Structure 1
Amino acid sequence: MSFRDLWRMCLNNLWRRKSRTILTILGVMIGCMSIVVMVSIGVALDVSQKKMLEDMGDLQMITIYPNYDPQSKIKLDESMLKNIQAIPGVVAASGKFEIQDYPIQVSTGSNGRYEALYAPVVGIDFSQLEGFGYELKEGAFPIVGAKNQALAGERFAYNFKDTARPEGSNMIDYYSALFDENGNMNEENVPDPYFDPLNAKIDLSIQVNEQNKIKDTLNVTGVLKESQMIGYETGEGLLIDLNEIKGLWKEANRKAGKPSTSFDYTGALVKADSIENVSEIEKQIQTLGLQTSSMQSIRESMEESSRMMQMVLGGIGAISLLVAAIGITNTMIMSISERTREIGIMKALGCYTKNIRELFLMEAGMIGLIGGGLGLILSYIVSMVLNSFSNMGAPAASFWEQLMIWLGLQGTPLSLIPWWLGLFALLFSILIGVVSGYYPASKAVKIPALEAIRHD
């Protein structure tokens, strides 16, 4: 019997008992839809968590801190930085330095009218700024090698008080202005700072001792976007070139009578070549005696919880598909009992046993295919409805954007069906159908031809 004959008989047999076939297909459709929608909710949660982590900072970035144990002889110096750069998977590493031996006063305006209450001054290699993910909110990056240039943190200008105003009304309360009475954030409510850092000269005054001060004037070329993963200086600090801050520190040491003081970094940034290598690189840096932090531990815990949720949700959906599998088995067994005489005639006409088995397996597989296909279509409809509800507060500007929101590719998705999930659901439905029909098919081929012909 040819495949074409088997295919024609399969469709005819399913159509002859269309009521039972439709009900069985309905069970597979609901089961397939349940497992796809349940898993899609877990996938959307995983995507949302990853997006949240990416917004918090570069997932390939590792921040290094020195060993703060006073008895430790491990130093975060140039030699240590070279050891870190030699670790496999490290694509960039740069030290950061903040003067901690001497107080620094930051001011601007005529006669230093505006004084900073808090403004950390941090030095870093300006040639590696973009490689480490520093982003500009406005302005431009400094010219590498140029002196007296700086980058201001996003809220740098809000940390200044106006010395010409009375106490209590000489600062802008940034955070109170940022949130309204309902606790909603609105940056448009924040007033402008007392000065524009891009059009101001920033004066540094390093107090070496009572007799000596070191002064430097900087031009801010750009304002950074805040990134806590890179460093707190992107929010409220001032970033200057590493060589320039080294020079200021050495000059301060010379005036303080400490010209031979060795130079150690107060921190460092490391970038891995991929997210997968972050954990191993962190372990190797920690074996060198340094402390590290990254988004790796948070990412791993989120991924683990997301996998568990997907398994739980998928298991709940799989129960529906299991019920559908039982329905397919029951349908095929009933079909065999009703078609016993037909099976006997097929055998008497010379049909091979394998042809009879293939016919019943094809019918069961067809039920799984149709049910799975319709279930997948229904899954997309349910997913689009869920995403429509979750994005009601953010209307789309065009139909194409609305379609992307419905599919979970934009906005805040509650359900996301990736291509592999749809393909898996369809193939799994077919497999469930074939497996469910195997026992009835094996039972059919065991019926003796003579007994089957005599059957009423």
Structure 2
Amino acid sequence: MQFKDQVDFVRQHILKNKMRVFMTVLAATMGTAFLIVLASVGFGLHETLRDEMLSNRLVTEIQVYEGETSGAPSDKVEQFTQLAHVKTVLNQQRLGTNQMTKMGSFAGYHDLVVSDFAEEAKVGFELQEGRLPEKWNEVVVGSHFGQSLYEDVEVADGEEILTYTGKLIGEQFSYAIENADGEFAEEEIEFTIVGVGKNPTKEWEYDRRVFADDSVIPELEKIYTANTEQTNTTDLFYQNVFVYADKLENVSQVSTSIRDEGFYVYSISDELDQMDVFFLALKAGLIFVGTIAILIASIGIFNTMTMAVTERTREIGVMKAIGAKPKLIQRLFIMESAWIGVLGTVIAIILSYGVSMIANYLLPIIVMSALGEEDLEGLNITFSVIPWQLILIASAISIGVAVLSGWRPARKATKIDVIQALRQEL
């Protein structure tokens, strides 16, 4: 029997039992769709969190700390720049004394961060507005700088203290550091704001820092030595060294090279690796749960194929009498069960994509309504993602289970006695 004839044979017998086959296909469809949609939640949440972590320059950032035998990282900046796959190295310096800023009638306490903005530009220092500093007295302020400037007046109990709400770009403020007596020095630096940093990725973070180019260091040292009567300025700053890899894929290699030099390192890729392991286990668990639904549907396929063998006992006997080999008979029934699995899988894939699209549209609205929020811009969550890998896994499981469900009835068909089959139709 040619393959075309085998297909026609299977098709004819399927058409004879449309309702039974339809219900079996429906069960296979529901089981496979359940697997895909359930697992897609794991893929969706994983992609959302990963994209959130990869949305800024921190993903290639490696923080370097002193090791037991390595010494200060700031002394090794030039050495770090020579490592393979290193894009740039930043030596950010922070003042180790209290600081005060004044802008008109407003005042506040802000941390000054000194860095090389030529290098900062290479790694994409993100701005909400304005530009990066080009002179020693130009600065970029954090997005919450104005909110941390308070009106310098006395208010009665219960009255709200006003914060600065005006424009920042182009404004000037005075900057002073604390002297040895715990008071702020009379000598001040006048800074001009030329840029405002981008809002932190996490809503609870509060960025009130002031970023200046390292060309301001001589001015800061001059004020420090004049007010503390110290000539040694090593205690004025403490160092934060950041190494930036050229690509995310090379972060681990760069981190290993720095560790080999005796330093301690931390990078967001470490968290990414841990997160990937967690979501791999989660997705595997969801696929396992979804597979149970397919196994339940396989009971229907098994019953359908068992009944098909029983109903076609006489027909099988005729086929054997005219010379059909057992392998041919077995193949015909396995083809029928495989057809049920393939059709159910195709319908399930189409249905799953539809459910995924609806879920991604409706669930954010439902969540925000439950939270009492009207603005959906802050909620950027993809609840369901169906990658091609998931389609392949679900298809393999669904079709594989369908074939296995039909294998036992197909084996039974090959063992039917020809004489008994021709004498009666069971």
TM > 0.5: yes
Equivalent position to 1:414, from 380, 383, 393:
383
Distance 1:290 1:167 in 2: 51
- The CA deviation at 1:307 is 3.0
Equivalent position to 1:108, from 103, 123, 129:
103
- Secondary structure of 2:365's counterpart equals coil
2:29 maps to a residue whose letter is: M
- The CA deviation at 1:311 is 2.8
Equivalent position to 1:81, from 72, 77, 84:
77
Q: Deviations over 1:313-351 (max 9, x none)?
A: 322221111122232223223222222322232233343
- The CA deviation at 1:121 is 0.9
Distance 2:318 2:412 in 1: 16
- The CA deviation at 1:119 is 0.8
- Secondary structure of 1:77's counterpart equals helix
- The CA deviation at 1:63 is 3.1
Residue 311 of structure 2 corresponds to residue 342 of structure 1: no
Give the count of matched residue pairs: 410
- The CA deviation at 1:147 is 3.2
Structure 1 residues 228, 337: closer, same or farther in 2, change over 3 A?
Answer: closer
Structure 1 residues 413, 75: closer, same or farther in 2, change over 3 A?
Answer: closer
Distance 1:3 1:131 in 2: 64
Residue 131 of structure 2 corresponds to residue 158 of structure 1: no
Distance 1:388 1:262 in 2: 55
Distance 1:223 1:452 in 2: 87
Structure 1 residues 291, 153: closer, same or farther in 2, change over 3 A?
Answer: farther
Structure 1 residues 73, 386: closer, same or farther in 2, change over 3 A?
Answer: closer
Distance 1:193 1:260 in 2: 33
Q: Map of 1:23-422 to 2, 5 A cutoff?
A: 23-54=23-54, 58-66=58-66, 74-78=71-75, 80-100=76-96, 102-109=97-104, 113-116=105-108, 118-143=109-134, 146-163=135-152, 165-166=153-154, 193=164, 195-206=166-177, 215-227=188-200, 235-245=207-217, 247-251=218-222, 255=226, 256-258=229-231, 266-279=239-252, 281-282=254-255, 284-286=257-259, 288-392=261-365, 412-422=381-391
CA contact (8 A) 1:123 1:241 kept: yes
Report the counterpart of residue 11 of structure 1 in structure 2: 11
Extract unaligned runs of 5+ from structure 2: 369-375
Distance 2:174 2:270 in 1: 40
- The CA deviation at 1:198 is 1.3
TM-score under structure 1 length normalisation: 0.76
Instruction: Compute the RMSD of aligned alpha carbons.
Output: 3.7
- The CA deviation at 1:213 is 6.5
Distance 1:218 1:431 in 2: 70
- Secondary structure of 2:293's counterpart equals helix
1:342 maps to a residue whose letter is: E
2:295 maps to a residue whose letter is: L
1:244 maps to a residue whose letter is: V
CA contact (8 A) 2:45 2:381 kept: no
CA contact (8 A) 1:98 1:120 kept: yes
Distance 1:260 1:236 in 2: 25
Distance 2:353 2:297 in 1: 20
Distance 1:344 1:243 in 2: 96
Structure 1 residues 385, 73: closer, same or farther in 2, change over 3 A?
Answer: closer
Q: Deviations over 1:248-304 (max 9, x none)?
A: 355457654536859986102222344454455445545545454443454344434
CA contact (8 A) 1:225 1:235 kept: no
When structure 1 is superposed on structure 2, of 24-33 and 299-308 the one drifting more is: 299-308
1:75 maps to a residue whose letter is: A
TM-score under structure 2 length normalisation: 0.81
- The CA deviation at 1:55 is 6.1
CA contact (8 A) 2:146 2:163 kept: no
- Secondary structure of 1:266's counterpart equals strand
Extract unaligned runs of 5+ from structure 1: 174-190, 396-404
Report the counterpart of residue 371 of structure 2 in structure 1: none
2:176 maps to a residue whose letter is: S
Report the counterpart of residue 20 of structure 2 in structure 1: 20
